[in-house]
Structure 1
Amino acid sequence: MYKLKYIVIILSWSMVSLAHAQQYVDKSKNDEIKSLIGKEKDITGFGNLDFCVGDVVDQQALIIGAYGGILINKNVMLGVGGYGLATESQFEGFDPENEEIRELNLYGGYAGMLIGFKVFSKEIIHLSVPMIVGAGQLDVSDHNYFELPSGDNDFTLESTSFFVFEPSALLELNISHHFRLGFGVGYRLIRGSTLENLNDEDLSGYSGVVSIQVGKF
């Protein structure tokens, strides 16, 4: 319930800020009709590299990802992105073949569509709210399943696909007209996984985010 409350707060703030971000004003004419894309058609490209540290199966893990797309009127973001586990996430799980508890490893990632917006993006420090909506794949492996001389002892015990929704809130710093740094938090909501050893709550969680953005701002 607490996690759902935080998500509702983030989405509510997002909708209010998005309505503000969508307004376009042609300063040359005070009576110009406001629209998402103005006469100048201010559409530029951008790319982000994200480093996320947060809970995965009750332990700290590093998730590295990237997203990119177009920035409309310096406020609205549209694009695609993908993220993957960069560190080993180990946990104790049940091996049905050997019928025993063993040390298992989690691998995988997710990708999807990016939507988001920026508030007061012309200011040196401003708010950025990117959101990833998509799907992913996770595998649970046993590194010591086989005892082979070659050392290739891995065996995938189970796999699952899942739905993911990950909103983030970042404070961005304009370093230059083509480079920005962002610092903030995100929440990874996973639903629809079918693993025997782990559930959706084990895979969902908060994370701290450091973001590097390049583009034409």
Structure 2
Amino acid sequence: MLHYSAKYHLIMKKLNNFTPILLLILALLYTLFGMSQTENKTGFPLYGNETRITGFAGPSLSISEIKNKPALFKGGSGGIIVNKSFFAGAFAETHAGSHNTGRLSLTLENRQSVTYSNLRTNFGFAGLIFGYIRQKTENFRLQAGMGIALGSVSLSENDYRLDFRENIINDGVFVIIPKAEAGFRLFPFIRTTLGLGYRIVRGTGKTTVTSEGTLNNYPNNKDFSGPLVSISFLMGNFNS
């Protein structure tokens, strides 16, 4: 009975982590198909020409580092493309792997010392993306852009509880991700993009008192900043 309950809570935790990303993708897909009904054109001019607006949405994966260890992130993005030259939209990512702190002893506000043997690192963020597209051919394009997001970094016990209020440490963070990407058409309305970027994280650095003294900036910004590679699978009208 206990084993069944643990498995149930594990499934619920995974669903809870993925739900915001799924809702974002569904909302952007709804917008995408709504745009397709209007033949991807608007009625107002831009420098004397008709403005063409199309939409895109899809899931993504990226690999970077957390505390000098490889880290996998899952997420999604979506938005609009204006005249095949500019894009803007929203994105979200969350850490999909498991990074543990090992043994950590903390002195709480009531001066009681508590030792944790296996704290899990949680990291996620969501925000806006925008950039410029250089259309080389119908099947290939280059693009450069930036993501700006808000998120959180926290440490929690490796149990099956879902309550974020029980996090041991919880820091709000500001994230900037400049990125260059190459896009390849797989099918008329499906494109994959390969990207190379750098994640800049600011906002961590709470002073944590331990039973052995004081650890400044734990966790710190450099533990979550660094280069990344990404792959996305996007659905949309990219050539109208």
Q: Shorter-chain TM-score category?
A: 0.7 to 0.9
Which structure shows the higher helix fraction? 2
CA distance in 1, matches of 2:145, 2:75: 13
2:186 equivalent to 1:186: no
CA distance in 1, matches of 2:152, 2:173: 6
Match of 2:150 among 135, 153, 162: 135
CA distance in 2, matches of 1:70, 1:132: 15
Which residue does 2:85 correspond to in 1?
Answer: 75
CA distance in 2, matches of 1:205, 1:141: 23
Shift of 1:101: 6.8
Which residue does 2:232 correspond to in 1?
Answer: 211
Instruction: Identify if the C-alpha distance between structure 1 residues 114 and 121 changes in structure 2 by more than 3 Å, giving closer, same or farther.
Output: farther
Matches within 5 A, 1:13-24: none
1:66 maps to a residue whose letter is G
Q: Percent identity?
A: 26
5+ residue gaps in structure 2? 1-44, 108-112, 209-217
CA distance in 1, matches of 2:225, 2:186: 32
2:135 equivalent to 1:120: yes
Please, what TM-score do these two structures have when normalized by structure 2? Answer: 0.66
Matches within 5 A, 1:53-202: 53-92=63-102, 94-97=104-107, 98=113, 100=115, 102-120=117-135, 122-143=137-158, 155-195=166-206, 196=208, 197-202=218-223
Shift of 1:91: 2.5
Moved more, 113-122 or 183-192: 113-122
Secondary structure of 1:87's partner?
A: coil
CA distance in 2, matches of 1:38, 1:90: 57
Q: How many residues align?
A: 177
Shift of 1:108: 2.9
Please, what TM-score do these two structures have when normalized by structure 1? Answer: 0.72
2:82 maps to a residue whose letter is I
5+ residue gaps in structure 1? 1-34, 145-150
Say if 1:63 and 1:86, in contact at 8 Å, map to a contact too: yes
CA distance in 2, matches of 1:37, 1:199: 47
Shift of 1:138: 1.8
